[in-house]
């Protein structure tokens, strides 16, 4: 039935009332009918300006249809319509003035207006003036984003005009900022540009520097005489100081002001081409191995007008004294370039400060990770004097515990809440078992303890490979930890790093509470200071050692969950942190929680500082860090905060 209707309409002829034909939009399009139907980028701009500036409320819709290639012209009477292509080679036609649907007709009766990409860009620019004042804030935001991506001089006027009526404070601020940037680049009023430059002189945005840098860009040129050419002169180049005399002469030659110097290759080719009876330029061939003889031979050829004369040092000096080489700013206004220099200098200072702040935040984040990884080792090493090489595997066990929990609890937030205490329980139990079965028999035998725990670490790694395989497992962070806290274009820190920093502070507070406010903490401190006296007072040192080792192992498990949120969860996860953990403990002071905190801060800031100087080679940065720590220990063998008692005596 639909096909029959289309055929009948085609046979009957699709007519439009005379009033509709004389409607404002249709009449305006008919005025520029040929240009709209077959647009050319070179000639279409006046047409687009006339359409956009007509003041007709329907024109934005018409321009959008044209840009999206939905503008069609009927062949019979050359009227324009908005048309949507259907699947059966028909068009659903809409009136341009009223946007009323007129029916479905054969596509063969119409010809599509096909603007190319260049014309579409011009149409998009014209639409910006309407979109900037659109009632929908989302449309206004889209228009501002389009300006940010491809700003043009034509955007400046509509952008300024839309600021006064903007009701959204965020969009208004963005409009004012963009208007300032476009003023710097495109405005012809010097005072307006100076005000805009002053306004952005404290802005750290990359787009601000992108707008200011072209103002201070220079081009190099040269003229005959002592006075530089017209323009905004940036600097007079002094040969021998700003550039070598040879380079200055070559630059003059590139500009065609002096003859070019003859290269060694050209001299060699000229000599080879002018050999006569075993001589070149009066010099025997046997003597041409000497550079001075070659130059003499070439000069002989030049005297005979066989080759171009060679440029001599005196010629270079004379040419440089009779020419001036200078740099010219691309912007002709000296006041603007001076203001741009001052603004860039101010921005550079602020960028440097913020880079230092960003580096400090990175270092603080890394220090919190090292602190979490080392706090358990600080407890066991300090209280018990045990070198636990399997401490890294407790970190790995905690990370895998978090992964297993997420397999059963798909809610990432809830899974992390469950995984933290569960990882503590699992690694606490593993630490107690390890202390009861192995460590307790090896007290005061550090070498055997080191070898035994190293063997256990290898066994735990292999066990993890057998259970979970060698492929990295994901430990996904909750959605609210995605992204980063962005202060400006220079300073940012991920929410995961912030969460780990907060977790480190929580464990610092928890540990201090345990050590200062609980019986276990009191007994632990007593055993640390004097185990024999503590035993004489009724404290069981073996029980304290067991619980202390379990506590340190449990904290390592919690650290594993935190580290697994941003690192790959593999069987080698712990080995990546065991060296830094031992360095943190040794540098900070064995067995002292404040020492571990100080050591973590020192290593974190040191590593980030070294990486800043050598960002392309992290392995070299770690090597330099280890060398520094070795030197540091030579002068302070007991660490930053030395511990008194058994650990200090050991």
Cα–Cα nearest to 395, from 313, 453, 457 = 457
Q: What is the pLDDT of residue 405?
A: 93
Rounded to an integer, the average pLDDT of 296-307 is 84
Rounded to an integer, the average pLDDT of 221-234 is 86
Say whether pLDDT at 429 is over 90: yes
Cα–Cα nearest to 503, from 577, 557, 463, 559 = 559
Q: Do 342 and 212 form a contact (C-beta atoms < 8 A)?
A: no
Q: What is the pLDDT of residue 22?
A: 60
Say whether pLDDT at 227 is over 90: no
Q: What is the pLDDT of residue 579?
A: 80
Q: What is the pLDDT of residue 310?
A: 86
Per-residue pLDDT band at 622 (split at 50, 70, 90): confident
Which of 132-136, 184-188, 523-527, 642-646 ranks highest by mean pLDDT? 184-188
Rounded to an integer, the average pLDDT of 461-488 is 86
Say whether pLDDT at 501 is over 80: yes
Q: What is the pLDDT of residue 419?
A: 92
Say whether pLDDT at 376 is over 90: no
Say whether pLDDT at 641 is over 50: yes
Distance of CA 597 to the CA centre of its chain: 31
Q: What would the two tokens of residue 537 be?
A: 């007072």
> How many other CB atoms sit within 10 Å of the CB of residue 389?
21
Q: Do 298 and 270 form a contact (C-beta atoms < 8 A)?
A: yes
Q: How many residues does the chain have?
A: 650
- On the CB side of 624, how many CA atoms lie within 13 Å of its CA? 15
Q: What is the pLDDT of residue 5?
A: 43
Say whether pLDDT at 54 is over 80: no
Q: Whole-angstrom Cα distance, residue 343 to residue 332? A: 18
Cα–Cα nearest to 562, from 383, 371, 389 = 371
Per-residue pLDDT band at 13 (split at 50, 70, 90): very low
Q: Whole-angstrom Cα distance, residue 362 to residue 374? A: 18
Q: What would the two tokens of residue 505 be?
A: 């502070």
Per-residue pLDDT band at 193 (split at 50, 70, 90): very high
Say whether pLDDT at 598 is over 90: no
DSSP one-letter code for 339: H
Q: What is the pLDDT of residue 8?
A: 42
Q: What is the pLDDT of residue 3?
A: 44
Q: What is the CA radius of gyration of the chain?
A: 39
Edge-to-edge strand list for the sheet holding 101-106: 101-106, 90-94, 80-85, 71-74, 110-112
Cα–Cα nearest to 373, from 648, 604, 581 = 581
Distance of CA 568 to the CA centre of its chain: 22
Instruction: Read off the pLDDT of residues 381-423 as tens digits, 9 standing for 90 and up.
Output: 766 677 888 888 999 999 999 999 999 998 888 999 999 999 9
Q: Whole-angstrom Cα distance, residue 161 to residue 155? A: 10
- Classified as helix, coil or strand, 92 is strand
> How many other CB atoms sit within 10 Å of the CB of residue 130?
19
Say whether pLDDT at 647 is over 60: no
Q: What is the pLDDT of residue 381?
A: 72
């Amino acid at each position: 039935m639909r096909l029959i209707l289309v055929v009948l309409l085609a046979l009957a002829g699709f007519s439009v009332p005379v009033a509709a034909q004389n409607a404002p939009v249709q009449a305006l399009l008919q005025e520029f009918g040929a240009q709209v139907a077959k647009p050319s980028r070179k000639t279409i701009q006046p047409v687009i300006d006339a359409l956009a500036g007509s003041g007709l409320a329907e024109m934005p819709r018409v321009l959008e249809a044209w840009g999206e290639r939905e503008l069609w012209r009927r062949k019979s009477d050359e009227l324009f319509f908005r048309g949507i292509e259907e699947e059966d080679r028909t068009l659903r036609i809409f009136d341009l003035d009223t946007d009323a649907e007129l029916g479905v007709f054969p596509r063969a009766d119409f010809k599509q207006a096909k603007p190319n990409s260049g014309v579409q860009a011009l149409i998009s620019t014209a639409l910006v003036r309407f979109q900037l004042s659109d009632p929908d804030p989302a449309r206004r935001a889209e228009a501002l984003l389009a300006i940010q991506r491809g700003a043009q001089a034509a955007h400046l006027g509509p952008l300024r005009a839309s600021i006064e009526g903007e009701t959204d404070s965020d969009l208004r601020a963005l409009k004012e900022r963009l208007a300032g940037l476009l003023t710097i680049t495109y405005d012809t009023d010097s005072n307006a540009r100076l005000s805009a430059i002053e306004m952005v002189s404290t802005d750290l945005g990359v787009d601000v520097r992108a707008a200011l840098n072209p103002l201070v860009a220079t081009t190099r040129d040269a003229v005959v005489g002592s006075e530089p050419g017209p323009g905004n002169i940036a600097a007079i180049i002094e040969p021998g100081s700003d550039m070598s005399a040879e380079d200055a002469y070559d630059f003059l030659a590139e500009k065609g002001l002096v003859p070019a110097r003859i290269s060694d290759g050209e001299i060699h080719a000229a000599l080879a081409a002018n050999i006569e009876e075993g001589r070149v330029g009066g010099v025997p061939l046997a003597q041409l191995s000497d550079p001075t003889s070659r130059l003499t031979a070439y000069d002989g050829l030049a005297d005979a007008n066989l080759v171009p004369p060679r440029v001599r040092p005196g010629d270079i000096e004379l040419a440089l004294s009779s020419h001036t080489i200078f740099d010219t700013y691309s912007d002709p206004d000296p006041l603007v370039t001076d203001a741009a220099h001052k603004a860039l200098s101010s921005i550079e200072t602020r960028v440097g400060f913020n880079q230092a702040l960003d580096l400090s935040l990175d270092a603080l984040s890394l220090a919190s990770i090292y602190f979490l990884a080392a706090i358990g080792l600080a407890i066991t090493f300090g209280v018990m004097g045990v070198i636990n090489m399997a401490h890294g595997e407790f970190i790995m066990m905690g990370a895998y515990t978090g992964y297993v929990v997420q397999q059963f609890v798909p809610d990432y937030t809830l899974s992390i809440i469950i995984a933290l205490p569960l990882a503590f329980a699992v690694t606490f139990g593993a630490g107690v078992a390890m202390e009861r079965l192995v460590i307790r028999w090896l007290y005061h035998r550090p070498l055997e303890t080191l070898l035994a725990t190293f063997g256990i670490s290898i066994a735990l790694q292999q066990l993890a490979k057998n259970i979970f395989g060698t492929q990295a497992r994901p430990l996904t962070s909750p959605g609210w930890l995605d992204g980063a806290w962005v202060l400006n274009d220079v300073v940012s820190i991920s929410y995961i790093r912030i969460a780990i920093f907060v977790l480190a502070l929580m464990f610092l507070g928890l540990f201090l509470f345990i050590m200062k406010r609980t019986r276990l903490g009191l007994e632990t401190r007593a055993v640390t200071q004097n185990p024999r006296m503590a035993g004489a007072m009724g404290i069981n040192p073996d029980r304290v050692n067991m619980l202390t080792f379990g506590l340190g192992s449990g904290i390592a498990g919690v650290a594993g969950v935190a580290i697994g949120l941003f690192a790959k969860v593999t069987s080698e996860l712990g080995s990546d942190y065991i060296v830094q953990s031992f360095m943190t403990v040794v540098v900070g002071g064995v067995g002292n929680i404040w020492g571990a905190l100080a050591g973590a801060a020192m290593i974190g800031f040191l590593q980030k500082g070294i990486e800043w100087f050598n960002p392309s080679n992290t392995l070299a940065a770690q090597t330099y860090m280890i060398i520094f720590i070795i030197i540091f220990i030579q002068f302070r063998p007991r660490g930053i905060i030395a511990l008194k008692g058994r650990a200090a005596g050991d």
